[in-house]
Amino acid sequence: MPKPLHRVSPKVIDILRNHIGLRASVPITSKADCVRLSSIIESKLKRKISVSTIYRVFLHPKPTTPYVHTLDVLAQYCNFKDWHDFEIRASQAEKLDVLTNDISLSSQPIDSLIKICIHQNQLKPVLTYASQFTFPVDPELGQRLGYEIYQALADNPNGNDRFFRHAHRLPLIRTCFFEMMADQNFLLQDYENGIKYFTSSARPGKGEGLGHDYLFGNCLLFRHYYIQKRKEEALAVGKLLYQKNKLPLDQMHQFSLHISARYLAYKFWFYLLMGQPSKLRQYLTEIRSYWADHMQVWRETEKKGILFHFGDVFCESPPLSHLEIVLKAHFSDFLETIPDFEMDKPLKKYLPVFDLSPLSLARLNGKHALASDVRSS
């Protein structure tokens, strides 16, 4: 009996592509991306989708009719039950437009429902609405929602602790605000409390099952404590990350770039705090080998992410400043493609160029940070 085919609209394929691009840190734009995605899916789900099939679904110029089995696997990779579940959730996610200022009723600026509720300290309508979304939303829509929340909190006259305390468990808020709009400089009022709430309700897991939100939240806290010179608190979090939940380099592929790059880079700070120069030197050797092994398969966006997080670590810590030269040497071929880059200038000057986080793009552009902006950078 032949396998059933399923006609899919280009719009839904684009939504699926966005989900996969963010989850795998692989924007599907070339045959090489298809090769890598096929390998990742087989590693994660123990199920195979051929490179040619992925190419036909996402890159073939004419509309395609994939097998339902293929669509099920792609949807499951994005944490949906199956393709039917994905289609339902994708259509329902459009309801989120009502929360943001995407619906323009006049030529005058209109405050979003989110901003009105937060600024008037009336959180129940937004929290009740957001609690309905227990599934992944379209990444572009999620980023718009997350930035809307960030903007509302940035000038909230009431302080933000109450919002963080009541909203941090909601899947929609955790993904769209806490993860997509992560602010490593902790500029929002009460943001430290917010990340503590977020991390406290994350599931640690063990080994390869380590929770990505647990890892991400603790990395943010670790950087914050280190930069603030709060040594005891930084050490406490560092021991959770690098002793209790130690992850070897060959397991980092299971996490997205914005998590794995932070985790690997901040480990230099941990060895400094622990007063272990020999381990720091050994780790530098391991990282240099890691860079060399992966350089040929990393995309431009991934190289920028590595440069941003490791550059941040070396620039913010005088004892590690000499390692900036090592980083530049490993990425010299790529750095030569960056407009106006000069090898003899401090790397810190160029860090904003390498920061492709949605929040950074939103601030830079003065508008919503869309997944398409990340892909085109």
Residue 19 CA to residue 42 CA, distance in Å, equals 17
Res 375: pLDDT: 33
Separation CA 175–CA 38 (nearest Å): 25
Q: For residue range 304-356, list pLDDT tens digits in order.
A: 999 999 999 999 999 999 999 999 999 999 999 988 889 889 999 999 999 98
Indicate whether 365 pLDDT > 90: no
Mean pLDDT of 115-126: 91
Q: Helix, strand, or coil here: 79? A: coil
**C-alpha span between 276 and 244 (Å, rounded):** 17
Q: Does the pLDDT value for residue 130 go beyond 90?
A: no
Lowest mean pLDDT among 20-29, 106-115, 139-148, 287-296: 106-115
The pLDDT assigned to 296 comes to 87
- The single-letter DSSP state of residue 46 is S
How much is the pLDDT for 33? 85
Domain extent listing, the chain: 10-79
Does residue 117 register a pLDDT over 80? yes
pLDDT-based confidence at residue 92 (cuts at 50, 70, 90)? low
What's the mean per-residue pLDDT of the chain? Answer: 85
Binning pLDDT at 50, 70 and 90, where does residue 97 land? low
* pTM greater than 0.85 (yes/no): no
DSSP assignment of 234-257? HHHHHHIIIIIT---GGGGGGS-H
- Least confident span in 22-36, 59-73, 225-239, 339-353: 22-36
Q: What is the DSSP string of 308-374?
A: HHHHHHHHH-GGGTTHHHHHHHHTHHHHTTSTT--TTS-GGGGHHHH---HHHHHHHHTS---HHHH
